[in-house]
Amino acid sequence: MSDILEPVPPVVSTEPPPPEKKPRRWGRYILYVLATLGVLAIVLVGAAFYKANQGPVLVKIDEAASIDESMTRNYGKYSAERKGWMYVDQNNQPFLVRVVQQARIEAVGASDELYFVTSGIPLSGEATGFYGVFQIRSDGKGGDGLVEISDPVRELYEVPLKPENVHFEALSETLWGWVIKVQSGLEPKHDRVTVSNVVLAPHGESIAELAKFRAAADADPGKDCAQANAEYAEWEKLVERYTKRSPDATDEEVAAGAEAVQHQPVRCEHARWTYATAPVNGPFPGPLTVTAKGSQYGAPMEPKRWKLMFDNKAFVYNVPEELMYEDQYGEEE
């Protein structure tokens, strides 16, 4: 029988245990910060993408409210009794101002644009009036703000504008403007009456005059055209003698000459210059085609046609001298 072995007791170390290692917490903080920054970056990129896809705010214009605000600011209070705005100019002359043309342009994917023309009728009995031109559009700052481009009191004319005197035209793909007919002289049986076309359009922060050219001329001397021409020739001779008078001319001669100059006789006239705009094609206005017809001084006018080309740098049409504005006395501007 074999010997029974005694169990061997475990060896117990008398060395102290090594110190327990603490976890490095600053590493976690870095991970948290990086994760937070990543989330913020994703949010910012998403917001920018959303805003880019939303596009700018497209402004829709309330015509009635915008016109009323602009008219009140530029001219004064509205008179329900007179159905217009009451304006007093720098000379303390009262005018009744009304809107004679308005149009709101609604383009796909773009903000509205509002255009309107006003006519100031004198209340003092004087035969003078003015007109104003206005554009209201987005201020381009991305919100719903509006800006006004205008010329509220533009020139004085004997005949106030009426709606039929204003033509609103598309001059290019990006430019709308007005062709306004202004009149000098009142009655063809008493005076020579001329009408001119004034082409206006917004340009930058102002209203630009693109052209001014003849539209019509009428005169009825109430007598045979040949006789009227003969009387006009005599008048020209009298005026020439007056302008070339000698220093020792009598007071009676000077007075007679001065009186003659003030009473220019009229000759038979019924002339028309019609215009046509070019088809809209591109960002700049195309040419205006002007055609002459009718009669002057008892004889038919020679048919003629002009093309008024647009100067993009100067932002004007090139108008030949023979078409330039002419008032009732035949004086050009």
Both 137 and 176 in one domain: the answer is no
- Which of helix, strand or coil describes residue 227? helix
pLDDT tens, residue order, the chain (333 aa) = 445 455 555 555 555 555 555 555 556 666 665 666 665 656 465 545 444 455 567 889 999 999 999 999 999 999 999 999 999 998 899 999 999 999 999 877 788 899 999 999 999 877 688 999 999 999 888 788 899 999 999 977 788 899 999 999 999 999 999 999 999 888 898 889 999 999 999 999 999 999 999 999 999 999 999 999 999 999 888 888 888 887 877 777 777 777 777 788 889 999 999 999 999 999 999 999 999 999 999 899 998 999 999 999 999 999 999 999 876 666 555
Both 137 and 86 in one domain: the answer is yes
CA–CA separation, 324 vs 212, rounded Å? 6
- DSSP structure string for 155-215: EEESS---GGGEEEEE-SSS-EEEEEEEEE-S-TTTS-EEEEEEEEEEETTEEEEEEEEEE
Parallel/antiparallel/unpaired status of strands 310-311 and 304-308: unpaired
Both 63 and 105 in one domain: the answer is yes
Residue 3 lies in a domain: no
Residue 38 lies in a domain: no
**The two three-digit tokens of residue 311, written as one number:** 């100067």
Residue 14 lies in a domain: no
Domain count, the chain: 3
Domain end call among 113, 136, 161: 161
Both 330 and 188 in one domain: the answer is yes
Residue 137 lies in a domain: yes
Domain span including residue 63: 56-161
